[in-house]
């Protein structure tokens, strides 16, 4: 019976068509190619066929429609940009163009101004310029990015500056307790003097250079509160808390009820003196008149008010 079976014509086996799996189904290469030629967008192709873009790009690159996958192209562009930045940095040029950098910066004047505008814009929006998370009040970065930036700067200085070498130019030796050499300190003083003169002519704050000077004809309110925070709380990051304390009291002395003016007769007082166990926290601070602050000295509130009452009774009895 095996001899009576009809013989079938020989068929050469065909290679299996390439298929891509996504969304619980198989999609042929031809369908992907046809959709891309019609839509000219890998995003639209992945949306129409219901597959991920990471599966569409290799098919197009394998069939010669794309020169290479977009991921490889992005990696090549990133490596090329990093190489350009390294070469420009070695030549003392801006990392984004071929212009010379400004003093104590890695950017030229144009890109530095663009960065400052972006920083000022994000500060108004309350978002961090690095991670886009909510920024610290009045600042351009969140607390996490500020701490990371500070640590990175210290690590960079410790890694690049040998013992007894300037932490700015990393070449000249320092003298005494200074961290900068004489040349860098002189450049910094000259730059700071020119910057202050320019801001004074424009009527801007000496410290930030963005807002008009309203306190002591030198600082804006934010910068003055940051200075007061640095002297009473140990860090300028608590400047917004000092300003909030000023807004809550309405510019009125906590003891005399007189109207206060920043930079003239307003002073920050400790409710409980440091010498008597008081803490340097925002809860232990209050805005008072400068004369009242001098009179209070290191007395507690109860002791000070009792002293004022004794003075008043004694004067009224006469």
DSSP the chain: -TTTSPPPPP-PPPPPPPEEEETTEEEEHHHHHHHHHHH--HHHHHHHHT--HHHHHHHHHHTTSSSS-HHHHHHHHHHHHHHHHHHHHHHTB-SSSSSBP-TT-SS-HHHHHHHHHHHHHHHHHTB-TTT-SBPPTTSSS-HHHHHHHHHHHHHHHHHHS-TTB-TTTSSSBP-TT-SS-HHHHHHHHHHHHHHHHHHHHHTB-TTTSSSB--BTTTB-HHHHHHHHHHHHTS-GGGHHHHHHHHHHHTTB-TTT-PBP-TTTTEEEEESS-GGGT---SGGGEEEEEHHHHHHHTT--HHHHHHHHHHHHHHHHH-
Sign of CA dihedral 106, 112, 114, 119: positive
Q: Is the pTM of this model over 0.85?
A: no
**Quick one: pLDDT at residue 31?**
87
Reported confidence tier of residue 135, pLDDT bands at 50, 70, 90: confident
What would the DSSP string read from start to end of 259-311?
A: BP-TTTTEEEEESS-GGGT---SGGGEEEEEHHHHHHHTT--HHHHHHHHHHH
**Quick one: pLDDT at residue 16?**
46
Whether residue 305 is predicted with pLDDT greater than 50 in this model: the reply is yes
Please compute the mean of the pLDDT values over residues 122-136 and round it to a whole number.
75
Q: What is the mean pLDDT of the chain?
A: 80
**Quick one: pLDDT at residue 22?**
46
Reported confidence tier of residue 1, pLDDT bands at 50, 70, 90: very low
Long-range contacts of 57-60 (CB under 8 A, 24+ apart): 59/18, 59/20, 59/29, 59/32, 59/33, 60/32, 60/33, 60/36
Reported confidence tier of residue 268, pLDDT bands at 50, 70, 90: very high
Q: Max CA-CA distance within the chain?
A: 144
**Quick one: pLDDT at residue 278?**
86
Determine contact, residues 115/123, Cβ cutoff 8 Å.
Answer: no
Backbone φ and ψ of 204, nearest 5°: -105, 165
**Quick one: pLDDT at residue 19?**
53
* Comparison of pLDDT for 123 and 195, the residue scoring more: 195
* Domains defined along the chain, listed by start: 19-71 (1.10.10), 221-313 (1.10.30)
Report the range of poorest mean pLDDT among 163-177, 201-215, 218-232, 251-265.
163-177
**Quick one: pLDDT at residue 128?**
82
Whether residue 104 is predicted with pLDDT greater than 80 in this model: the reply is no
**Quick one: pLDDT at residue 266?**
93
**Quick one: pLDDT at residue 286?**
93
As beta bridge partners, residue 27 has 20
Whether residue 181 is predicted with pLDDT greater than 90 in this model: the reply is no
**Quick one: pLDDT at residue 152?**
78
pLDDT in tens, 216-259: 889 999 899 989 998 888 888 788 889 999 999 999 999 999 99
**Quick one: pLDDT at residue 123?**
60
Whether residue 15 is predicted with pLDDT greater than 50 in this model: the reply is no
């Amino acid at each position: 019976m095996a001899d009576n079976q009809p013989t079938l014509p020989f068929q050469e086996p065909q290679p299996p068509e390439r298929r891509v799996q996504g969304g619980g189904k198989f999609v042929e290469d031809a369908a992907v190619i046809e959709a891309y030629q019609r839509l000219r967008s890998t995003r639209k192709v992945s949306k129409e066929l219901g597959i991920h873009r990471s599966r569409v790009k290799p098919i197009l690159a394998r069939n010669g429609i794309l020169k290479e996958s977009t991921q490889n192209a992005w990696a090549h562009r990133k490596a090329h940009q990093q190489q350009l930045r390294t070469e420009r940095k070695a030549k003392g040029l801006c990392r984004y163009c071929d212009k010379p950098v400004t003093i104590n910066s890695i950017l030229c004047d144009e890109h530095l101004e663009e960065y400052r505008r972006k920083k000022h814009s994000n500060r108004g929006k309350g978002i961090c310029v690095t991670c886009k998370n909510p920024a610290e009040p009045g600042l351009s970065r969140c607390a996490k990015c500020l701490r990371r930036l500070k640590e990175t700067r210290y690590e960079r200085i410790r890694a690049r500056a040998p013992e007894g070498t300037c932490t700015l130019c990393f070449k000249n030796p320092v003298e005494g307790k200074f961290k900068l050499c004489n040349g860098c300190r002189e450049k910094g003083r000259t730059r700071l003097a020119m910057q202050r003169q320019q801001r004074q002519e424009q009527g801007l704050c000496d410290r930030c250079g963005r807002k008009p000077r309203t306190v002591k004809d030198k600082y804006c309110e934010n910068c003055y509160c940051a200075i007061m925070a640095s002297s009473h709380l140990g860090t300028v990051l608590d400047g917004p808390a000092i300003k909030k304390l000023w807004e809550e009291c309405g510019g009125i002395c906590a003891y005399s009820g007189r109207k206060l003016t920043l930079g003239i007769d307003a002073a920050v007082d400790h409710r409980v003196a440091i010498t008597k166990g008081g803490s340097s926290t925002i809860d232990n601070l209050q805005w008072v008149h400068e004369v009242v602050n001098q009179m209070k000295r290191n007395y507690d509130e109860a002791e000070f008010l009792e002293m004022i009452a004794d003075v008043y009774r004694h004067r009224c009895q006469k």
